[in-house]
Amino acid sequence: MSSLSRGDRVALVSPAGPALPSRLAAGVRVLQSWGLEVTTPVVTPWSLPYLAGSDAARAEEFVAGWCSDVEAVFCVRGGYGCLRMTDLVPWKDLPPRVFVGSSDVTVLHTELNAVGLPTVFAPMPGTSDFVDDPLAQARLYSVLFEDVRSWTAGTPVVPGVARGVLTGGNAALLAAGVGGPRWAPPPDGAIALLEDVDEEPYRLDRILTQLLRAGWFEPVSGIVLGSWTGCGDVSSVLVDRLGSLGVPVLGEFGFGHCAGSWSLPLGVEAELDASVGTLTLV
């Protein structure tokens, strides 16, 4: 993956919900302390306050930020809205950029990875998961500036080794996209990263069952499970739905909506050793 250097210009965009101005300002200060020149988004008030503007306005801002003279594009936050504007973006025409986001932004990761652009699943500068978490900040910095290529964490659920392209993100958003006109399954041999937040165990069961019934896991050669904050005890659900797929599964890996979240690349090849808890780019 491409890395960043001090002095690089980056664009912040709002493809989903609007960020609190004070929180975004704090996030911008962190990025500036890394030596980055930051362009902030323009939020246009709209009739639906949970969106940072109309679908057309958010898509236009995303494309304009991406196609400007920048090295990277950061989403300020998730929430909801990315799924509404994917058909308004010319994905195949976008030049290479470093891209950072998570949660609802899973939808955009999927689109970008599908056209061969790698991305980074990471806490966003307009969220408390970034602004109030120095460890999460440091872990994102290490991916963007120091080209870290290996992570060790987690607990084996199903031991074994897998090698493939990293894919996935937020489980609910992946399930929301299955069966749609733009949906495609993971690449053959992919290693799936999955996390979620505030989903009751039965709802997570439904999400995973929907993915299973859609055949989403059929090409997958390994699974890495992140955080399930606010979901209660979902360990039995995860084992029941994923433990019999015949692929290595590594749990509690510490990415997603959690303290000190790892920032992990998507759309690049890696090796998973679920027996010892390592994920390594190859």
193-224 confidence digits (pLDDT tens): 999 999 999 999 999 999 999 999 999 999 99
Query: Cα(69)–Cα(100) distance, rounded to whole angstroms?
Result: 17
Residues 94-130 have pLDDT tens digits of 999 999 999 999 999 999 999 999 999 999 999 999 9
pTM of the model: 0.97
| Active-site residue identified among 111, 195, 221, 227 | 195
Helices (H) and strands (E) in the chain, counts: 9, 14
**Has 5 been annotated as catalytic?**
no
Neighbour order of strands in the sheet with 98-101: 37-39, 9-13, 72-75, 98-101, 119-121, 264-266
Mean pLDDT for the chain overall? 96
Who contacts 19 (Cβ-Cβ below 8 Å, separation ≥6)? 27, 52, 76, 77, 126, 127
What's residue 1's pLDDT?
Answer: 67
Query: Of 111, 257, 261, 263, which one is the catalytic site residue?
Result: 257
Instruction: Residue 106: name the closest of 5, 215, 242, 226 by CA.
Output: 226
Which one from 14, 102, 103, 263 is the annotated catalytic residue? 103
- Mark whether 109 is an active-site residue: no
- Any catalytic annotation for residue 257? yes
